[in-house]
A and B are shown apart, each in its own frame.
Chain A
Amino acid sequence: MQITRHPPVKTSLKPSNHPYLSGAWTPVHEEVDVDELEVIEGAIPADIDGIYLRNTENPVHQPLGRHHPFDGDAMIHQVSISGGKASYRNRFVRTACFEAEQIAGEGLWGGLMDPDGTSRRPGFGAHGGLKDTGSTDIIVHAGVAYATLYQCGEAWQIDPVTLNNLGKASWGPLDGVSAHPKVDEETGELMFFNYSKHAPYMHYGVVDRAGNLAHYVPIPLPGPRLPHDMAITKNWSILNDMPLFWDARLLERNIHAARIHDGVPTRFALIPRHGQPEDIRWFEASPTYVLHWTNAWEDGDEVILEGYFQDKPMPDPIEEAGEYSHMMAYVDEHSFQCRFHRWRFNLKTGKTREERLSDRIVEFGMINPDFLMKRNRYTWSTTSKPGWFLFNGYVRHDTQTGEEQVYELPEGVFASESPIVPR
C-alpha cells in the first residue's frame, strides 16, 4: 500500500463536540491516493470492474453560525475496483465558493439554520443565502461525475477516474441544478430539475449524451416548494409538489421555516420526457414528504413509483439536543418516520393508488441499476441509528413475496449509501 499525500488545504475549523462535527461526522481534510488497498477480510470478487464514488460532508472552516450537517464542504472518496484489487483516492470538490474560502482563509457563507445576513458574500441555493458546495449527491453521466447540492447550485464536474475538478457544467441554468438528476444509460440522457423562490418555482430539463442542454421547461407550482428528488420512466419524468414547504409569511421576512401545510395534498407532475408544461399530467396523493424515490416504471395504463413515505414530515424536536433539537429531528429517520411505499398513477382515470410496502423505518434505498425504469423485485434500504443520521444496517425488501432480509452492523460501525453492482 503506497500512500501519496497532496498539499493540505487551508482550514480554520476548530475541534468541536457538535453532534455532526464529531464521531462518525468528524471532517477529513487530507487528500490522498493509495495504489492498492490492503484486503483485511475475505476477497474482492474478481468480476467487479468499476468505480465507487461517495460524496461526504467535510467543512474546512469554522461555521459563521450554527452548523447543519448539510452545510459541509464536499469531498469525494473513490475506490476503483478491477481484477480483485482496489485503489483509493479522495478530493475536495473545488467549487467557486470553496476556492473563495481558500483565498480568504475563513468561512464566507452561513448555513441552513443561520439567520438572513449571516453570509458575507451573495449566497446560493433556492434559499438564497447558502454556499454552493455540491455536497449532497454524486452521479455519473456520459463519463463525467457531477456533484450537486440539494438546495440547487451548479453541477460541479469531476473526472470519475482521476477525481480532477473540471469546473461547473456549461448546461446548468440560472436557477441551478438540484441534487438527484437521473440518467438513462440507454439513451445517454440526463434528466434534472431545479426549484426557486420565484415563479414558476420549478423547471425540468434534459441534457443529451454530448453534454448539451436539449430541453428545459417550467413546471409551474403554486409557490416556493422544497422538492428533493425526481424519478424517470422510459416515457415520463416525475416531479413533485409536497405540503412541506417554507411558511409564506415568514418567508416575506426572509425567514426560512419549513412546515407541513394541513389540508394540502401531495401532487405529482408526470411530464413526457421531452414534453411541454401543457403536457403535464397532475396526480394527487395523500400528504407526506419524500426525500428519495427508488425506482419508477410503466405498466399498461399505470405509472408506478416507489420511495419512502414520511408519516411525520414535521417531526417533534429532540428536546435533549438543546439548540439543535429541530435539526436533530429533521435528520432522524425515526423522528420523521419514513417507510417503503408505492404510488400507482392511472393515466386513464387520473387517480392515484398507494400501498405501504414495509413497516420498517428505512430510507436511502438502492436497486440493481439494470432494473432502472423496469419493475424491480428487490430494493435494498438502509436502517439508521435512532436519533441520528447514521446508517447502521440494511434491509433487502422482496416486493414479490414481502420477505425481508436484514443485516445489522456491529455497534459503533456505520455504513455509507451502498450501490448495487450488477453481475
Chain B
Amino acid sequence: MSEQAPCNAGRRRFIAAGGALTLSFAMPAWSAPGELPKSLDKTPWLDAWIRIGADERITVFTGKVELGQGIKTALLQVAADELRLPVGRLLLVTADTERTPDEGLTAGSNSMKDSGTALRHAAGQVRARLGELAAARLSVPAANLILKDGAFSAPDGRRATFGQLVAGQELHVRATPEPAPPAPGPKTAIGKSVPRVDIPPKLTGGRAYIQDLRLPRMAHARVVRPPSQAARLVDVDAAAVMRLPGVLKVVRDGRFLAVIADGEYRAVKAATALARAARWDTPASLPKHPDIASLVRAQPAQPYPILERGVPGTPGKTLRATYTRPFQLHGSIGPSCALAQLVDGRYTVWTHSQGVFPLRGALAELLGVKIEAIRCIHLEGAGCYGHNGADDVAADAALLARALPGRPVRVQWMREEEHAWEPLGAAMVVDVAATLGLDGRIADWEYAVLTPSHNQRPGKAGNLLAATHLARPFTPPVPTPSPQPEGSGDRNAIPYYAIPNARVTHHFQPQAILRTSALRGLGAYCNVFAIESFMDELARAANADPVEFRLRHLTDPRAIDVVKLAASTFGWSSYRRPQGTTRRGRGFAFARYKNLLAYCALAVEVEVALETGLVRIVRAQAAVDCGEIVNPDGVRNQIEGGIVQSTSWTLLEKVRYDQQQVLTVDWASYPILRFTQVPDTVGVHLIDRPGQPFLGTGEAAQGPAAAAIANAVFDACGLRMRDLPLDRQRMRRA
C-alpha cells in the first residue's frame, strides 16, 4: 500500500533525524534484522509465492501487476535466479484476490522493493527447503548436492527433481526472517537484459489486454456521463432508446445513466441516443480564477511542517520564486475498461486497477455485499501512470452486471469520458526562498508547497466515480496527506542537499475544485521541478556552475556519482554553444526519488525556435542508480519513457475548464508529444550496485526531466520559466 503505508520504524527515524540529513543516507534494507520483508510478513507461507507441481511446473505468485513497466519479467528474473533456473521455466500469476498475496497497490516505484524483495527471500528459502528435502531423499548432506536445471544431484549421479521433492505440503511452511544462504554458482537471470515476456503477444495481436477479453454471452455497456461536474439529471425518455437494435437495458440511478446492448457499437450508438434523450440541469460549479496560482491559493489548507532544521536568519543574498503546475491528465492511450459478471450472488470483476484488493473492498461497500462475494482479477490495460479511470470503470461494470445478472458486462470508456472524468494530477504552487551565505553555499531554505490530495484511491466506495452519482450517493472520504518520507503532494519537497537551516511546509488542501489523485511521481514532479530550477537560479546568483553548485551541497556518495556521470556523458565541462544557433542551451537536474529510492541525474541540451517558441530537446543524458539492477534494459526503458513523458507534461500539458466542466476532452484540446517533437537522442547510463536493495525506477525521471528542460531554456534564451507547462508564447516573444 505504498502511498498509504504508515512509516516503519526506520522511516520514522528518518523524520526524527531531520536535523541530521546524513542519516537518511543509511542504506535502506527494506526489513530490519529479525523481520521479514513487508509483503512476506503479510503473507508468510512459501507456497503462497512459489508452487511446484509434480509435472515440474513452477508457478510464481505476486500481488503486483504489469503496467507496461516490465515488472513481470523482472520478478521472474528474481525468482529464477534464486532457483538457479532460466526465466522461461517459470510461470507467473499476478494480482488476483483469490490466488495471490495481497500486496496492496502497484504504485510508487515500490514493486521491486516490495515484491522483488519478498520473492527473492521466499525463493531463496524454497531453494534451501528443496535442498533439505533432496538431502533426506538421497541420504546425502545438503552441502554435497549440486543444483542444476531444477534438480539436485548427488555425487554418485542420483537426482531428485523439484517436482519429485514436492509431493504435498512441503512448501506450506512459514518464511523465516533469516535469508537463505546465497545460491551457489553463477547468476542465471539477475543483471541480464532478459527480453520482456509480455512484449511478443502485444506486437502480434495476441490476447494481451483486458480490452481483448471476450467472454461467452458478453454484453457491452456505455455510460452517459453528466455534461458537467454538478449536472443534475432532470429527466430522460428511455423508451426510444430501448427500441434501438440490440439494446438490452437502460440503467438509471440518480445521475448515473447507462445502456447495455448486445454489441459494442450498438452500445456506443445507443449511448449517443440516450445522451440526446436526457435533460440536464447544469449549474456553474467551478470557480473562475485568472491563473492556477490564484486558484490554488484560494483553497483552504492545513499546514504540515515536514522539516524544521536550524535557525534561519543568515545574512546574505536572498532569492525568492514561485513555481506552479496545472491540473494534468494521466491520459492513458487506451480508455479504461472492465468486465463484471454476477452469478449466484457472487461478482467476478476483471480489472486493470493498480490495486485489486483495495478495489474489492470499495466495490463491496458500493454493492452492499461482503468482500468474499467479490473476486477481482487483474488483466493488463493500457499504461495508466497512476490512479486513472481503471477503478471507476470497474465500478461501472459491477453496477451494470448487477442490473443484468448472469451475463458478463463489458464497459469501455469513450475518449471524451476518459479525458473529462479521470482523476487528475493535482495543481500545485510552490513558494521558495533561500539565502546564499558569503561562502557561496545555501545557508537558509524556506519552502512551502500548496496542493490538494494526490491520493484518492479506493479505499472507499466514495472514491469511485459512479458511486458519487447514484441517487443515494456515496461521499468521497476526506483525504489526508501520506506521511513523509514518501509523502504525497509533498513528495520530494525536502531537498536532498546539505542546507543548515531549512523549513519545509506542506499546505495540504482537503478539497479541490476537480477530483485529483495519484499521477506518476505525485508531488515529486513539481517539487523537483521547483527545487532543481531554484538550484539553477541560486547557482547563477552565486556565479557557480550548476553542476558544481549541486556537488557543493551533496554529501551522499551515490548522489555525487550519478551527478558526475550525467555531467561527464553529456560533456558538461567542455560544452560550447554550437555556433550560429544562438538559442541553444543546456540544463541540469538531479533528484533521489522520495529521497529514498532511485537516484537520477539528467543533463539536456535544448533549442528554442525563435519564430514559434517551440522547444526541441537536442539530447538528454541521464545517469541512474537504482541499487542492484535486475534488468538493465528494463531500467533504461523506464527512464527513457519517463524523460519523454515528462517532456510532454512540461512542454504541452494543461487541463482547461470553464465554470461547468473540463474542456480538454480529446487529443486535439489536450495535445501530447508527437514523434516530430521528441528528443533527437536520449542516453541512459546505469550504475549497478550488486548486493544493494532494489530501489525501483518507474518515477525517478519525471521531476529531473522537467527541471533540466526549464534550466536549459533559461540557458538558451534567458527566460526563467516557473510555470508548467512552459509558455510557448512567452518563449516566442523572448
Physical interaction between A and B: no
